[in-house]
Structure 1
Amino acid sequence: MNLQKTYTVDEAQKKIEHYCAYQERCHKEVRNKLKEMRMIPEAVDNIMVHLIQNNYLNEERFAKAFVRGKFRIKKWGKNRLVRELKFREISKYSIDVALKEIDADAYHKTLDELTKKRIDQVKEKNSYKKKRKVADYLLYRGWESHLVYEKLNEYL
């Protein structure tokens, strides 16, 4: 027997407030969570409005926190950050504002460190293949191709 808890609008709202207070969330995550809680569309809309009005949900704040965190911890480049934010249905405006959170010097310094580290890790004798492997790694992480190839030409 599939017994799934049902929630009143007030219960769902309290639970989602806690969910949003715990860490920054995007609208899509919250909407999905409410759907999982089997809330009807009208209730979902009402709760979403409440969350936005009471500043539990803020797309721009989410985008900024996301960009800062993923850049600092996972060392993602701007292409990957933009792709991930678009996947979360974040507006172009919020994405542009969020990308300004990254200091240009820190961005280039991070790419430099990542490139050197990866060059040391790749055990490939053929310099062309080595360059290709390092480039693939950096491109996958979302670094812009012109920056990646500039760095590789500098070091390899």
Structure 2
Amino acid sequence: MEKKSYTFLEIKQKMVNYCVYQDRCHQEVEQKMWDFLLIPEAKEEILLYLMKENYLSEERFTRSYIRGKFYMKSWGRNKIRNHLKFKGVPEKLINSCFDEIEDEDYHKILAKLYEDYYSKIKGLQVYQKKSKTIKYLLGKGFEYEEITEIIKEREEE
């Protein structure tokens, strides 16, 4: 199949649309531009244009990614951090954007996930249920210390 060729301006507009549709990180934009077989100078020019015109903002992307993955998918900080690192977002930026998650919300959602999962497990000893629930929550990216804190609270009730 023959690839359709676009002019520089068409590609630039396509990249603007790509960024307007949803916040993107630099890596996603570069990956998308790769499909157009642009020369490095053209890629640079488009990237700079997107940043200058505020279509592309790594910080905005990181903040909306953190909010979305936590508030919509109930991911913990570890899973969010790993996925952002995989997308090439610098660790320092990731850490400075975690204030998008309120500590109280983090605690509440973790407690709710614990309750929901724990109460669904049938026919196991208490320690087995606990261990299975911890494993599940670690898989969702929550920190071990945070999980044990929730367990302590439950035991005190």
Q: Normalization by structure 2: what TM-score?
A: 0.93
Q: Deviations over 1:114-153 (max 9, x none)?
A: 1101111222412222112111110011100111122234
Matches within 5 A, 1:1-156: 2-155=1-154
* Letter in structure 2 aligned against 1:119: Y
Distance 1:65 1:5 in 2: 33
Q: Deviations over 1:14-50 (max 9, x none)?
A: 0010010011000000000000122222211111111
Distance 1:51 1:117 in 2: 43
Unaligned segments of structure 1, at least 5 residues:
none
* Letter in structure 2 aligned against 1:17: V
Indicate the RMSD between aligned Cα atoms, in angstroms.
Answer: 1.3
Distance 1:138 1:106 in 2: 16
Distance 2:77 2:146 in 1: 11
* Letter in structure 2 aligned against 1:80: K
Distance 1:5 1:124 in 2: 60
* Letter in structure 2 aligned against 1:57: L
**What count of residue pairs does the alignment treat as equivalent?**
155
Residues 147, 5 of structure 1: CA spacing in aligned structure 2 closer, same or farther, 3 A cutoff?
A: same
CA drift at 1:88: 0.8
Structure 2 counterpart SS, 1:24: coil
Unaligned segments of structure 2, at least 5 residues:
none
Q: Percent identity?
A: 38
Distance 2:56 2:132 in 1: 40
Distance 1:30 1:23 in 2: 11
CA contact (8 A) 1:60 1:97 kept: no
Distance 2:96 2:6 in 1: 36
